[in-house]
Structure 1
Amino acid sequence: MSRWFNTAGPCNPADHYMLPALQRLPEVRSLIDQNSYFVLHAPRQVGKTTTLRVLADQLTGSGRYAALYFSCEEGEVAGDDFASAQRTILRELQRRAELALPADLRPPPLVFEGDEGLLRAHLSAWARACPRPVVLFFDEVDALRGQSLLSVLRQLRAGFSDRPAAFPSSVILCGLRDVRDYKVASGSGNTLGTSSPFNIKVESLTLRNFSRDEVAELYAQHTADTGQPFLTEAVDRAFYWTQGQPWIVNALARQMVEKLVPDRTQALTAVHVDAAKEILLRRQDTHLDSLAERLREPRVRRILEPMLAGLALGNVPEDDLRFIQDLGLVRMAPGGGLEVANPLYREIIPRVLANTAFASLPPQSTTWMRADGRLDMERLMEAFLAFWRQHGQPLLGTAPYHEIAPHLVLMAFLHRVANGGGTLEREYAIGTGRMDLCLRYGPDTLALELKVWRDGEKEPLEEGLAQLDGYLAGLGLTSGWLVIFDRRSGQPPIAERTSASQTHTPAGRLVTVVRA
């Protein structure tokens, strides 16, 4: 039986296509050989657990170490009850050791005496009894809260000077965030503020995404097993949408080879990648759904809302900037400034935010379709104007991000068009003052630029026409829409001020200007 592309839980080489565990963490082995304590932090579902479990197995298999991976996640419910948290962690450590280590390398039986220092006492007893240096991977350590987290960190620090004879020789703390950002109390905005409870760390590492060549390497494993090739254009397109995010790389491939093109004699192309991308966007599987849950968090909203609106970030707390990057939602662009981490996230974020507006849409016939299945742009405009005049005002209240409420309602309307067999793509960035939309339906393409006219700002028409000119040129189009949402105070109701007229860009392209 051939292997498959895994999208649920850790990978194992017998069943799943996967890259060598240390390929993205070449420095880890030398740090362990130096008896170092360090931190590994990265967004969820980038392969941390897979990498750590394989690394632990390799270290133990080398004959030099007794290495163990285990999770601290169950300790989260203990809150500040550090005694309960320690017992939970030690039981999980014991359970994992029985599964992963030979009998002579396992820790001694658990002895729970008192409430303080349980972890340090047990690890010390194990290190003294074990014939090899002990290496521990504390995964999900940032699930711990308050006094439980501080207790674990301080016990590790206290035992550090006794390594390797009487304490683990190397400890790796793994989680979403760096140790300096671990929360002290559940539900609190306070953090440790310093790495002092764990000031013995020598490095803070992160697990990077796949490179383009690594995506090709992963996909080539499927070709080697089944004979089904991924064309170069498919690899390039997959890397474009994912920027190497491991879960999405696997999810796209899984949709292609299991659902879209199960015939192993048929090559996989860029068209198949785009089709798989649309399936993921519609289904919002586990990984994408968990990201969507984050969008309403105040720390996330403070950054994403101005990004979507094309505004400057303003005075955003540094911890919020680190947090949203640690989530993997955004990244620092090579030239500076935040950008959404990959084009697929750039698509899913506004789509998720527009879901409520989409669900609130009234029934409407597809009057914009011609008999031959093509879009009738004039009738589409008429349908939108009628929709906006009647439903725009009440639907604005359904949007979760106030600054882009009209954008989300318009996108909900366009999704209704796209769901008939098209796609809707978006471009937005900090400080651009606009959002660009591209509706594709068969051979028809409609480009839209969205601008907002706020109090104290000048009329955005001239700037919008110049910006739309560049967007149309990039798409090879000769016409498009410029939608100006007038959000100045004291304006007439939407039904009265919504209108459409035609003009031209500086380069002579035909533009329909919608004032809404």
Structure 2
Amino acid sequence: MRRFCTSGPVDKKTCYYVERPDIMKEALDHIENWRYFTVSAPRQSGKTTLLKDIVEKTKEKYLPIFISFEDYDGLEDEKEFIEVFLEDIIKKLKNQNIKIGIKKEEYKNVREINKIIDKIYEATKKEVVLMIDEFEKFDNEKLMNKFLHTIRKIYHDREIYKLRSVILISVGYLSGILEDNASPFNIAEHLEVPYFTKEQVYDLLSQHEKETGQIFEEKVKELIWHNAAGQPGLTNGLAYDLVMKKAKGEKIITEKHFEKTLYDYIRKYIDKNMENIISKAKKEKELMMKILFEPESVEFDISDDRIKFLYLNGVIDDCDGKCCVKVPLYYKKLYNHFKPQINGEKNYMATIKDTIKPYIKEDGSLDLNKLMKRYIRYIKERGAVMFKGRNYYEGVYQYNLDQFLGLYVEAADGKVYPETHVGGGRIDLLINMRNKEYLIEIKANITGNDYEKSKKQIKEYIKRKGLKEGWLIIYSNTIKDFEYILEEENGVKLHIWFIKTNFESPSKVK
């Protein structure tokens, strides 16, 4: 029985596999037309799996040789490079039962690669497709330039040397190579391996359903698609956790199962995919904080090296000209990691006398307005410390409210989820308690026009979720006092809370 693959290239015999016909056709067309091209995608995006599939689809007609430059960092001279390069080539050919009679000591420099290709063609009578993974690990610039100049020379006489195609594969866009006039790699023939489409995600999940009889609820499929945004490693990881841990042995995988998986991914698991994203984000912490906590404030400009670095490593993306974290699960993990430090505030948010009981109605639902009054008491007490003199972003206010609500809601076995998918958008906070949902949209220091837009936005979210009420929380440094407004239209209630943030400086607070 096959499974969801969570590491390494996917083996079709043991793992569920999604065909990617569009990019496959493009790659095969390039090979047929003697093109040399590059392929890039962040880690665990499926690029190695795609290239392995290209090997399978071309091996009858050509001789694909797939090697990796993963261990090429630190190579110092041409002799050392050509020795390691030849060892990799010979090993790959040996795996295909091909002997070419090459003696490593006969080759001393990079320029002799053309002789190696000649030897391979003489032995096999097949044109070579050379595929090099982890090309960015080749860190000796002098050697790399010699290698590329040699490949360029072969490229001009490729039909003579029988080097049908060269494919360089990397985590990031090989911009330095593409900009080099001496490079045979045309910028127009660069392939980016996209994330799965929604249809491909559903195809992957349906393979499991057909082979095992275990069914994903439709809502769970939507949640997997939304939270992973089609990122192959995350999509498989979420599905694997649901199947093998949360719902093992059960016939139906439910939303409750998914909530546990999501919680573990954000709070408990050390997932190599997300740890890599955090590691990269930490290198540009200041910019990352601004992107996370000041939405739509950073223009997407690939000429900015900081933005290019985060983009090439799959951390951020271009959302209508602004920098954003497009994968919701990445956003939630990064939000948790970079959240503002407000240590000790929990003692003020909920004292030893505070329990959840006063905020539960007779029917068991949450009295969120009453809880908001408790929150305002906390802000009145701590606002001068928390807000005065600090350049807070909207997301920082969101985290403060998130932490406060979580203390009470989790005491009643509920959950508070940040940045949760609602139809075609995201709600800032969603409370799920006793099978009832509460939507909260948060804004900071907005204008009158923004205020009206925010009301329309939360009303649309309420409509999409089929609820009867929602909450709009507005933090402002211009209002004189806290205020609550109730707006009701067509049976739908909108609770609007204005939270004052302009306080006396902490030194003046007794």
TM-score range, shorter chain: 0.7 to 0.9
> Aligned pairs, how many?
477
CA distance in 2, matches of 1:73, 1:114: 22
Using a 3 Å threshold, how does the CA distance of structure 1 residues 301 and 316 change in structure 2: closer, same or farther? farther
- Residue 381 of structure 1 is matched in structure 2 by 372
1:139 corresponds to: 133
Q: How does 1:304-453 map to 2 (within 5 A)?
A: 305-306=290-291, 308-314=293-299, 316-320=301-305, 321-333=307-319, 339-354=324-339, 357=341, 362=346, 367=354, 369-370=356-357, 375-377=366-368, 380-381=371-372, 384-385=375-376, 404-416=395-407, 420-426=413-419, 436-453=428-445
The counterpart of 2:461, out of the listed 448, 454, 474, is 474
Rounded to whole Å, the distance in 1 between the matches of 2:195 and 2:300 is 29
Residue 153 to residue 411, structure 1, CA distance change in 2 (3 Å): farther
- Structure 1 residues 128, 234: CA separation in 2 closer, same or farther (over 3 Å shift)? same
How far 1:65 moved relative to its partner? Answer: 1.7
Instruction: Map 1:37-186 onto structure 2 (within 5 A).
Output: 37-60=36-59, 62=60, 64-78=61-75, 84-85=80-81, 87-98=83-94, 100-104=95-99, 108-111=102-105, 113-114=107-108, 116-117=110-111, 119=113, 121-145=115-139, 146-166=141-161, 168-179=163-174, 181-182=175-176
Shift of 1:171: 0.8
Q: Which amino acid aligns with 1:256?
A: L
Deviation at 1:172, TM superposition (A): 0.7
Distance 1:443 1:427 in 2: 16
Following the alignment from structure 1 to structure 2, what is the Cα–Cα distance between the partners of residues 9 and 272?
A: 26
**Given the superposition, is the C-alpha separation of residues 383 and 33 from structure 1 closer, same or farther in structure 2, using an over 3 Å criterion?**
same
Evaluate the alpha carbon distance shift between residue 129 and residue 234 of structure 1 in structure 2; reply closer, same or farther with a 3 A threshold: same
CA distance in 2 between counterparts of 1:462 and 1:505 reads 17
Query: Hey, what's the Cα distance between the residues in 2 that align with 1:176 and 1:101?
Result: 27
SS at match of 2:179: coil
For the residues of structure 2 that align with 1:5 and 1:124, how far apart are their CA atoms?
A: 42
* TM superposition shift of 1:120: 5.1
From the superposition, tell whether residues 22 and 66 of structure 1 become closer, same or farther in structure 2 (CA, over 3 Å).
farther
Are 1:388 and 1:498, in contact at CA under 8 Å, matched by a contact in 2? no
Compute the displacement of 1:444 (Å): 5.0
Distance 1:20 1:438, change over 3 A: closer
Look up the SS of the partner of 2:104 in the other structure.
Answer: coil
Q: Give 1:243 shift.
A: 2.9
The match for 2:6 is 7
Q: Tell me how far 1:13 sits from its aligned partner.
A: 1.5
**1:66-100 alpha-carbon deviations (Å, 9 max, x no partner):** 2121211212344x7666555444434443443x4
- Local SS of the residue matching 1:74: coil
Distance 1:123 1:362, change over 3 A: farther
1:196 maps to which of 155, 161, 181 = 181
> Contact conserved, 2:299 with 2:323, CA < 8 A, in 1?
no
Find the aligned partners of 1:41 and 1:28 in 2 and give their Cα distance.
Answer: 12
Query: Given residue 67 of structure 1, which amino acid in structure 2 is its aligned partner?
Result: P
* Map of 1:491 onto structure 2: none
**Could you tell me which residue of structure 2 aligns to residue 494 of structure 1?**
none
**Which residue of structure 1 aligns with residue 274 of structure 2?**
288
Distance across 1 between alignment mates of 2:441 and 2:215: 39
What is the TM-score of this pair, normalised by structure 2? 0.78
Contact 2:38–2:169 (CA under 8 A) maintained in structure 1: yes
Contact 1:306 1:313 in 2 (8 A): yes
Shift of 1:515: 1.7
Of residues 253, 257, 275, the one that matches 1:268 is 253
2:194 is matched with 208
Contact 2:440/2:470 (CA < 8 Å) preserved in 1?
no
Structure 1 window deviating more from structure 2 (115-124 vs 281-290): it is 115-124
- In structure 2, what is the Cα distance between the partners aligned to 1:394 and 1:152? 60
1:229 aligned to 2:215? yes
Secondary structure in structure 1 of the residue aligned to 2:282: coil
SS in 2 for 1:169: strand
Distance in structure 2 (CA, Å) of the matches to 1:54 and 1:477? 50
The aligned amino acid for 1:341 is: K
- Residue type of the alignment partner of 1:71: S
Percent of matched pairs sharing the same residue: 18
Query: C-alpha offsets along residues 37-87 of structure 1, whole Å, 9 cap, x if unaligned?
Result: 111112221111112123213422x2x222121211212344x76665554
1:131 Cα deviation (Å)? 2.5
Counterpart residue type for residue 66 of structure 1: L
- In the alignment, the residues of structure 2 paired with residue 284 and residue 358 of structure 1 have an alpha-carbon distance, to the nearest angstrom, of 24
Q: CA offset at residue 467 of structure 1?
A: 1.0
Change (3 A) 1:3 1:116: closer
Which residue of structure 2 lines up, in the alignment, with residue 238 of structure 1? 224
| Higher alpha-carbon deviation: 344-353 or 371-380 | 371-380
> Quick one: structure 1 residues 310 and 224, their matched pair in 2 at CA, closer, same or farther if it must change by over 3 Å?
closer
Specify the alignment match of 1:503 in structure 2. Answer: 485
Rounded Cα–Cα distance in structure 2 between residues aligned with 1:122 and 1:413: 67
d(CA) in 1 for partners of 2:316 and 2:200? 21
Give the Å deviation of 1:451.
Answer: 3.4
Aligned mates of 2:335, 2:328 — CA distance in 1:
12
Listed as ranges, the gaps of 5+ residues in structure 2 are: 502-510
TM-fit CA distance, 1:271: 4.8
Contact 1:241 1:344 in 2 (8 A): yes
Per the alignment, residue 189 of structure 1 pairs with none
CA distance, structure 1, for counterparts of residue 240 and residue 213 of structure 2: 16
| In 2: Cα distance, 1:359 partner to 1:123 partner | 63
Quick one: distance in 1 between partners of 2:120 and 2:382?
68
What are the superposed Cα offsets for residues 416-459 of structure 1, whole Å, 9 maximum, x if unpaired?
A: 5565541313279xxx9x98333333345444443344xxxxx7
SS in 2 for 1:32: helix
* Counterpart contact for 2:225–2:235, Cα < 8 Å: yes
Instruction: Give TM-score scaled by structure 1 length.
Output: 0.77
Counterpart AA for 1:426? E
CA RMSD of aligned residues (A): 4.0
